[in-house]
Structure 1
Amino acid sequence: MTRQAALSDPSGFVDFPERMVIDGSQRAPELLLPIKSQVDADPRPGIYLLTGSSRQTRADYAERLVRGGYPEAVARTNARRRQRFFDSYVGDLINRDVMRLSEIERTAELRALIKLLAARSGQLFVVQALSRDLGLPGTTTARFLALLEEVFLVKRVPAWSKNIGNRAVRTPKTAFVDSGVAANLLGADARGLLRPGSAFGPLLEGFVLMELSRQTTWSDTLVELYHYRTKDKVEVDAILETRRGQVVGVEVKAASTVRPEDFRGLRHLAERVGPDFVAGLVLHTGTHTFSFGDRMLAVPVSALWETHP
């Protein structure tokens, strides 16, 4: 009955004065554009919480990655129409917004950087390596990244350090704000992402980073998003830190099987942080939550947007 009401009058259904939780939102894509109109009129974060089925498969995750989160893209069920939207979106950002912010002549190099960043979504932004691949001065590459952040195409995730003064100078990660845009730039479709050696893992990590980033904007607890990497290459994909110094570590695994060794970076972080370590989570593509010891949990990626009684 609720779904029928939503389909009969999508605009009226989402015109609600308080926070609205819509479970099984994938069954009513007609709601997405009315929700976008409401959010455009009232940009307060957290007005709508859209949730989906907890029985997600790897194929479901692949489809979510290539679909992205923009309502205009989600509403286009035809893959070719969605691709045209993504192409137009990136083209408009470059030709209109970036050019408005800063007159640049090397648009070809900027487009090449965008594709490189898509291929390395969720990975370290090493200016020297990217500049070498593009044949650009490091200052130009850094300036291009700043412009792409300014138009909300990519986001920089700073490195975490216990020494706050060191954070600004350590190598950040970058991720595309929308996984659908990144997948389209790579020419990746949902079926292709299921093949061995595909971009599924990097796209999933970037997706999780941006999902965490979005949720920090409406969380009642003020937290900052970081990543962690030591000189010995011990890594934690994401760190959420409160202003009191409490820390949650998050690892992303593009598989449904989790092993004790997947918690290596999180256990290292727990030892370093001490009593301020709240929890370590390995987000995986399976369907169940398991304990791997004190404050260590394996949790489905879908827990990021699901609600439970």
Structure 2
Amino acid sequence: MHPRLTQSRLAELLTQFPAVALLGPRQTGKTTLALLEAKRRENALYLDLELPSAQRQLDDPEAFLRAHRKRLVVLDEVQRKPELFAILRSEIDMRRQEGETAGQFLLLGSASGVLLNQASESLAGRVAYLELTPFQARELLEPSASADDLSALWVRGGFPLSWLAKSASASLAWRDAFITTYLERDIPALGPRIPSTTLRRLWTMLAHNQGGLLNQSQLAASLAINGQTVARYIDLLCDLMLVRRLAAWHGNVGKRLVRAPKIYVRDSGLVHSLLGLASIDSLLAHPVAGASWEGFVIEQLIAAVPDATASFYRTTHGAEADLVLEFRNGDTWIVEIKRSSAPTVSKGFYSAAIDLGATRKWVVAPVAESYPMRDGIEVHNPLTAASMLAQQANSLGKGELFVMGR
């Protein structure tokens, strides 16, 4: 198993909070990470709530949890038993009275909206949230990695079984099966009655429009459904952590701002699977290449600083930054993302830097080494940029609660 950057943070949070919710799409390695953490403890208990046998053990959840005090209880796919959350609150409070203050429950979930809503109502102040994304470049590649190595990750995406597949065709086949399983099994199991063909068409349309402004009316017209239904479907894909709505920056800069969010399929490998792009050659020949690269880089950077507020900036007069990161200390870093290894900077980026009073200004591109440009702009490759952002996050101190981009 490749070491995950999240592993040490998970162990740390379990020493601080009674419960930790580890959230991420299916097949990102949540169970593997949780079992590794459980092995570090003498008598941790693991239950997979997708199994009928595990659900039967919780027929009387109060008695079951009471019988397993003084143990870390790991509950996988916990959103399948929403009635547990109120009981967990009572159990946490009882354990606290007995001196058990932290590391009581590890909750794994693949539907962030469901889990966050349920937990926020019942477990306020008792739970920390941590997101496990697909593999990030920093977890797989050395800082000196070649452009070909980075391109391989871009093409396949970061889902472990896609990245580790023995061939490009095997990787694509895994991603195709992953999408089908989500559409035909996982989403229906959560309750929504959504035709899988309609949701697949929407997901594919979002891939075609990768990084574009969200236009629900246009999507609704193309799918012959109403705008509210499109909004509900997109909410679902965001809750499953498969799609990101990147908010438009808002504030008082005396300019007319674009307010619609941008929409991204979060894993680049899924973008390429939805569009039938199996190789780097087919990807580079496709119109989505630049937007796919942009989405890939954005995921690398946001994952490095989960406590920062992420948005994009655009005015009606052309000022633009692909990514704006605002830190707790008041710093604002802005990023322009380029596919070219000899990037140039648009006039709109300079305007955005002035409008936002940017502390640092970056161009992120597939360059071999970092170098400066005029007016304090720095050029970095995605690996270097993500590492520098992680250092910034560490220097500011990690927040106790991770709020995930949705």
CA 1:45/1:143 → structure 2, altered by over 3 Å: closer, same or farther? closer
Distance 2:207 2:28 in 1: 29
CA drift of 1:263 comes to 4.2
Decide which of 346, 353, 356 is 1:270's aligned counterpart. 353
Aligned-partner residue type, residue 353 of structure 2: A
Distance 2:331 2:296 in 1: 24
1:124–1:172 CA contact under 8 A, matched in 2: yes
CA 1:254/1:231 → structure 2, altered by over 3 Å: closer, same or farther? same
Partner of 2:288: 199
1:239–1:248 CA contact under 8 A, matched in 2: yes
Distance 1:191 1:236 in 2: 27
CA drift of 1:204 comes to 0.6
CA 1:269/1:195 → structure 2, altered by over 3 Å: closer, same or farther? closer
Decide which of 292, 295, 299 is 2:380's aligned counterpart. 299
2:313–2:323 CA contact under 8 A, matched in 1: yes
Distance 1:185 1:105 in 2: 18
Per-residue CA deviations over 1:177-204 (Å, capped at 9, x if unaligned) read 2111111111113332464454221111
2:210–2:263 CA contact under 8 A, matched in 1: yes
SS of the equivalent of 2:244 reads strand
CA 1:196/1:78 → structure 2, altered by over 3 Å: closer, same or farther? closer
Aligned-partner residue type, residue 323 of structure 2: A
Q: Indicate the structure (1 or 2) with the bigger Cα radius of gyration.
A: 2
Partner of 2:230: 141
Aligned-partner residue type, residue 52 of structure 1: L
Distance 1:117 1:35 in 2: 25
Q: Which deviates more from structure 2 when the two are superposed, residues 95-104 or residues 151-160?
A: 95-104
Decide which of 209, 219, 224 is 2:298's aligned counterpart. 209
CA 1:34/1:188 → structure 2, altered by over 3 Å: closer, same or farther? closer
Aligned-partner residue type, residue 215 of structure 1: A
Per-residue CA deviations over 1:68-92 (Å, capped at 9, x if unaligned) read 1111111112222222211221122
Partner of 1:50: 139
Q: Which deviates more from structure 2 when the two are superposed, residues 118-127 or residues 286-295?
A: 286-295
1:97–1:151 CA contact under 8 A, matched in 2: no
Aligned-partner residue type, residue 171 of structure 1: A
- 1:229 paired to 2:320: no
Distance 1:199 1:177 in 2: 14
Q: TM-score, normalised by structure 1?
A: 0.76
Partner of 1:90: 179
SS of the equivalent of 1:298 reads strand
Distance 2:290 2:237 in 1: 23
CA drift of 1:117 comes to 0.8
Aligned-partner residue type, residue 232 of structure 1: H
CA 1:34/1:258 → structure 2, altered by over 3 Å: closer, same or farther? closer
Decide which of 254, 259, 263 is 1:174's aligned counterpart. 263
CA 1:58/1:255 → structure 2, altered by over 3 Å: closer, same or farther? farther
> Structure 1 regions of 5+ residues with no counterpart?
1-9, 20-32
Decide which of 313, 319, 323 is 1:238's aligned counterpart. 323
Structure 1 residues 153-192: aligned runs within 5 Å: 153-163=242-252, 170-192=259-281
Distance 1:204 1:162 in 2: 28
Q: What root-mean-square deviation, in Å, do the aligned CA atoms of Structure 1 and Structure 2 show?
A: 3.5
1:130–1:141 CA contact under 8 A, matched in 2: yes
CA 1:141/1:287 → structure 2, altered by over 3 Å: closer, same or farther? same
Partner of 2:220: 131
CA 1:58/1:149 → structure 2, altered by over 3 Å: closer, same or farther? same
1:255–1:285 CA contact under 8 A, matched in 2: yes
SS of the equivalent of 1:294 reads helix
CA 1:40/1:304 → structure 2, altered by over 3 Å: closer, same or farther? farther
- 1:284 paired to 2:365: yes
2:309–2:326 CA contact under 8 A, matched in 1: yes
Aligned-partner residue type, residue 308 of structure 2: V
Aligned-partner residue type, residue 204 of structure 2: K
Distance 2:382 2:176 in 1: 28
CA drift of 1:287 comes to 1.1
Q: TM-score, normalised by structure 2?
A: 0.59
SS of the equivalent of 1:201 reads helix
How much identity, in percent, do the aligned residues show? 26
CA drift of 1:149 comes to 0.9
SS of the equivalent of 1:156 reads strand
